Amino acid sequence: MRNDINQRIVLAARPEGQPGPEHFRIETAPVPEPADGQVLLEVLYLSLDPYMRGRMDARKSYAPPVELGAVMEGGTVARIRRSRHPDYREGEIVLSHAGWQRFALSDGTGLRKLDPELAPVSTALGVLGMPGFTAWSGLLQIGRPQPGETVVVAAASGAVGSVVGQIARIKGARAVGIAGGPEKCAFVKDELGFDAVVDHRAADFPERLSAACPDGIDVYFENVGGHVFDAVLPLLNEFARIPVCGLIAQYNDPAGPKQGPDRLPQVMREVLSRSLLIRGFIQREFAELRPQFYGEAAQWLKDGRLRYKEDVVDGLENAPDALRGLLEGKNFGKLLVRVAE
């Protein structure tokens, strides 16, 4: 791709169910020129995250949807290609929100300078970025694990879940991960150091989870929903805390009432009888705590107590297929698209 051409991916249609190639469109345009007070960003890495599926729908949510014909949104790490802003120099690396495109203009709002000497810049989109902060804030501000308690986390090999379990262990709790397939389970147990891990694809998954949690579950970090939550619910202890971060098993469900039995009365009965705390959250609610997170997480990373895995896809044009794979659980670690070297 020529450096005087901007490639971008826009939302072409709203999906019903799993998004496909027909829901995206690749466009090209001249690279824009920055005006006074602006910088031209060249995207190096694009973060792909489950929340993006929700932004493709028109239904009401915690953030407005991507408009048809607009660039798909997403967090990015970018190089300042040209600058007419007094606070930024050409060549500096910044955390940005440029979305699914090679180049973007910015007036500096929301940019954060990155030091490549401190950590690989890609970590600003993962373990030292929004996913890491989501794990840190949800677990410590809502889950509040105590030493000796059992913390269970779904999608334990993913960008958020992998950090949740490691922080739980740092805080003295017992970490039990739930992942899909032998390779991911081995990574969670052997590389990340969880105390136990259970494969949710196993035919006897509920029984295996029960065996891994002989003292019940005190904190359940919810990333998935579906049959994973069904297996967790009977094991929750009195006063258990459930930070609800994501429900990836349900993101492709069409809007409207679902067919089947109404299980809400059963769930509410358990909430009442066991004094359960179920709290949905978006990480930006805890924005004032980001400096504390950056300091703690960077030190844990330096000490080797916090590890991470990245799943890197090359080429912006491959972002739609990569997002589809993410929603199907095909990624292994934090999913990134390398847009430029």
SS (H, E, C) the chain: CCCCEEEEEEECCCCCCCCCHHHEEEEEEECCCCCCCCEEEEEEEEECCCHHHHHCCCCCCCCCCCCCCCECCCCEEEEEEEECCCCCCCCCEEEECCCCECEEEECCCCCEEECCCCCCHHHHHCCCCHHHHHHHHHHHHHHCCCCCCEEEECCCCCCCHHHHHHHHHHCCCEEEEEECCHHHHHHHHHHCCCCEEEECCCCCHHHHHHHHCCCCEEEEEECCCHHHHHHHHHHEEEEEEEEECCCHHHCCCCCCCCCCCCCHHHHHHHHHHCCCEEEECCHHHHHHHHHHHHHHHHHHHHHCCCCCCEEEEECHHHHHHHHHHHHCCCCCCEEEEECCC
Q: Which amino acid is at 300?
A: W
Question: Can you give the residue ranges of every domain in the chain?
Answer: 5-126+309-338, 130-286+295-299
User: Averaged in consecutive runs of 10 residues, what is the pLDDT profile of the chain (341 residues)?
Assistant: 83 92 95 96 96 88 88 96 97 97 96 93 96 97 98 95 97 97 96 97 97 98 92 97 86 58 86 96 94 95 94 96 92 94 82
* pLDDT for residue 255: 55
CATH topology for the 5-126+309-338 domain: Quinone Oxidoreductase; Chain A, domain 1 (3.90.180)
pTM, full prediction:
0.88
Distances in Å between the Cα of 209 and the Cα atoms of 190, 212, 232 are: 18, 5, 8
* pLDDT for residue 292: 96
CATH hierarchy code of domain 130-286+295-299: 3.40.50.720
Non-local (6+) Cβ contacts of 117 within 8 A are none
* pLDDT for residue 62: 76
* pLDDT for residue 64: 85
* pLDDT for residue 261: 75
* pLDDT for residue 341: 82
Whether 5-126+309-338 shares its CATH topology with 130-286+295-299 is answered no
* pLDDT for residue 317: 96
* pLDDT for residue 2: 61
